[in-house]
């Protein structure tokens, strides 16, 4: 039994101002029906003794301590840059603004 009819798809498409051909309406009705059936199956399986989860494996955020260290010397940082000028990265102008 189909839970989503072609008429419903056409009505929602019209509300969203999306033009669909008859073939697209039929195809989308079928695809949405498959999705609705899958959601129904999940709802049948989900019981009160199964807690809702967002991920099947518990995740924990791994954080490292924030340790203050000496910064890299400017010369070392700029050594990997294609171009530099006066201790700064030199990049091409892209916005057409005056320098």
pLDDT for res 44? 81
Backbone angles phi, psi at 78, to 5 degrees: -75, -15
Q: What is the pTM of this model?
A: 0.47
48-70: pLDDT as tens digits: 777 777 888 888 888 989 999 99
Residue 96: pLDDT over 80: no
25-45: pLDDT as tens digits: 999 999 999 999 998 888 887
Residue count of the chain: 99
How far, in Å, CA of 36 to CA of 42, rounded? 10
């Amino acid at each position: 039994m189909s839970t989503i009819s072609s008429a419903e798809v056409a009505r929602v498409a019209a509300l969203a101002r999306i033009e669909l051909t008859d073939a697209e309406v039929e195809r989308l009705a079928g695809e949405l029906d498959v999705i609705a059936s899958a959601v129904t199956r999940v709802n049948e399986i989900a019981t009160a003794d199964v807690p809702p989860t967002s991920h099947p494996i518990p995740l924990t955020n791994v954080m490292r301590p924030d340790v203050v260290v000496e910064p890299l010397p400017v010369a070392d940082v700029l050594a990997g840059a294609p171009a530099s000028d006066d201790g700064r990265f030199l990049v091409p102008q892209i916005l057409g603004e005056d320098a």
